[in-house]
Structure 1
Amino acid sequence: MNDFIKKMTMKAKENPQRIAFPEATNVDILRTAEQVVSTGIGFPVLLGKKETIEAIAEENQVNTSGFEYYDYSIEETRKQLAKNYIKKYDDFSEKAVLRKSKDPVRCAMYLLKLEFVDCVAAGKEYSTGDVIYETMSIVGLQEGVESVSSLGLADVPGFEGSEGTMFGIADCAINAQPDAKDLAGIAIASAETVKTLLGWEPRVAMLAFSTCGSAEHESIDIIREAIEIVHKTRPDIKIDGEFQLDSALIPSVAAKKVPRESAVAGKANILIFPNLHAGNIGVKLIQIFGHANAYGPVLQGFAQPVCDFSRSAPVEEMLGNVAMLVIRAASGKGGK
């Protein structure tokens, strides 16, 4: 286990949470759930038939002690779920909940919204698009955020930034061409995610090919509008731009290029890319040429915490994602 995942698991262990695993017949999911129990970071709730899940676990030498089961295949169980749901919410009918909860991911989202579980970990078999769609349609977005986004945490050997070798990057996985409201939401959600996970005071740089008006283009206007939205809606967040990458990260460059006082220039710890082209290229550049470790991506912007595994992710990486998920779930309930 590398140092970052160790740090996340130690922090998650301080306030363990109930985690729904809807893809409970996947062996890597079972191994991750086993690690969740052994590290003490949470309480796995496996969706499906206990007998089926335990048979797969036994065949693959997975210890299931500490697992809880929620069998969505039993109609009476789903009927009770539907009754409980319509007592609190009116966005779905009882009949719709009964029907939709036949799908384990949808069922997990209903359990999350009802606070039967604290968070949901999925995506090993379901696509990212499926996980996002089901979360959006049932759980919804947090207040002030226009769209779901992703945040990665980059650890670049030899980089000397305001937080050592690490910084946050967003959005590198979801929003192809965000408008000003989307960018503002990405910035707000990223600031909250980084503060929750790492305890940093967020300093958010909005990246562009221009620094403080050194170039003009309609795409830069979108970035400037996003900054104004954040200033108005979340004046507590330190955000500035538009900045070129070097102006955001290097104090000596910021001193030359930024003609005003800035709490962010030269010492940013969160970088917001203007679109998915830049984000995807950027994260791969730092991985290939900077030999960076990139953790995540963390899905953010939902009203309640959900994580999406890469289908090729090894169990250690999945455990790190779950640890970050647990920390965010605890924070949302006032956990420290």
Structure 2
Amino acid sequence: MRIRWLATLTGTLALLLAAPSDAREPRMKVATTFTVLADMAQNVAGDAAEVVSITRPGAEIHGYEPTPRDIVRAWDADLILWNGLNLELWFAQFLDNLKDVPSVTLSDGIDPIAVAGGEYRGKPNPHAWMGLDNALIYIDNIAHALATHDPANAATYRANAESYKARLREAIGPLRDRIAALPEDRRWLVTCEGAFPYLARDFGLKELYLWPMNADQVGTPQQVRAVIDGVRQHRIPAVFCESTVNNAPARQIARETGAAYGGMLYVDSLSTRDGPVPTYLDLMRVTAETIAAGLEQGDG
């Protein structure tokens, strides 16, 4: 594996040396491990820094395998931001193949929720950015990281962070209140992967899912049967599935229980600019609206 990475790096260096010498702008360059973090960081950076995502829109982050183009995007970065909490298992080796670039873990300060089952039982669920309260911590961590490595623009980063947090509260707060207003017995979130414990905690939802996290065996007959039983027992009105996994098991559960298939939820990745969730704020808004609409079916 190490030999393959060294060969890849040699080819990458050739690409970099062939690039125009004046291609890079004089702003600080920040690389993030995936698109959600890139958008959050760009909102904090504004025009003061350049932000790129190592992975592309729509990528499945857990088992990601970096490519030579990923190395090119990150090679001249001044700072790398990553999630941590065992999400980017590929990141340590990726970072080893770059020059001496400082990195910052954005989940620092988060109160982690443990994975409830499967091979990751007891380890922290990494999807902490899906809770609004946690997102505010991420933004503060980003602002601090940018200000530390680019003190000349520290005031800009702090002001942008406060403005961005206000926009998130304004957009997501009413949706959280909308879900909290539902009868308690309807406040169930049924998904394919257990990627929403932080959102569920923030929104007062109970969870039911097919597999806990990033499992090799997904949507097995045993998993489907257990969720079917749970949906029937609690008379749950809707089931959902994440955008990066196969939704066939969730649709089967809906058919067999009479629940609605409530739609697609977004977690690990943004869409392209012309897609439904080109920003993190869109991701949170669309996901919360989809959940609220699904659970309101038949209410009253």
Q: Comparing both chains, which one has the higher relative contact order based on Cα–Cα distances under 8 Å and sequence gaps of 6 or more?
A: 1
Report the TM-score, using the length of structure 2 for normalisation: 0.29
Instruction: Report the TM-score, using the length of structure 1 for normalisation.
Output: 0.27
